[in-house]
Structure 1
């Protein structure tokens, strides 16, 4: 990797951190636009997460937007996929007493037949 590529990678990492993890806004970017874009990205994630796990939206209730924003700020980077994001948000709500524990799985009828 050349020095120019390393500088570009570092600048991109700072930009991503500002957009998804509440990092400092890099020089040369309009702070108001960066905040708007960051809020838009969080809203997009929240919408997808609540479609994947509607139980999280029910558990958070009217505080969904603020709860998801707090969850998103608590992470240094978003999870690798939306399913993981949804499950992590559910766990985050559960840790705060906002969501019940998942029901225990019933043993399958055929498990009685196994030695």
Structure 2
């Protein structure tokens, strides 16, 4: 197998794990589904670490809301963790799950 073929197979595998795309040939779809769930849990924990205000404000709804967000907004390799957490927070505000953040006023 050439490097290009291997890179293409790896890209398809990563696409499946991040977006739920069809499993590449030769991979067990059920095992990939389980691994994708593990990676989603890791992203959920990372978002909770970066934005502890979100799980605190949402309580037990944090998990289900994050999973809904992750299904609608699959993680890509171009999006950094802080951006993903900010996107989740903005999504929560847009759905009315969180109030709009107040603007800070700076005093001179």
Q: TM-score range by the shorter chain?
A: 0.7 to 0.9
Deviations 1:65-96 (A, max 9, x none): 22111211212433532111111110111111
Query: Is the Cα contact below 8 Å between 1:17 and 1:77 reproduced in 2?
Result: no
Runs of 4+ in 1 over 4 A off after TM superposition: none
Structure 1 residue matching 2:26: 3-state secondary structure:
coil
Matches of 2:54 and 2:7, distance apart in 1: 35
- Could you say which residue in structure 2 is the equivalent of 1:113? none
Matches of 2:28 and 2:89, distance apart in 1: 33
- Could you say which residue in structure 1 is the equivalent of 2:34? 36
Structure 1 length-normalised TM: 0.80
Deviations 1:34-83 (A, max 9, x none): 11110010101100101111122133321222211121121243353211
Choose from 55, 58, 62 the match for 2:56.
58
Query: Is the Cα contact below 8 Å between 1:56 and 1:89 reproduced in 2?
Result: no
Unmatched tracts of structure 1, length 5 or more: 111-115
Unmatched tracts of structure 2, length 5 or more: none
Structure 2 length-normalised TM: 0.85
**Which shifted more, 78-87 or 97-106?**
78-87
Structure having the higher Rg: 1
Q: For 1:1-115, what aligned pairs fall within 5 Å after superposition?
A: 4-78=2-76, 80-107=79-106, 109-110=107-108
Number of aligned residue pairs: 107
The higher-RCO structure (CA 8 Å, 6+ apart) is 1
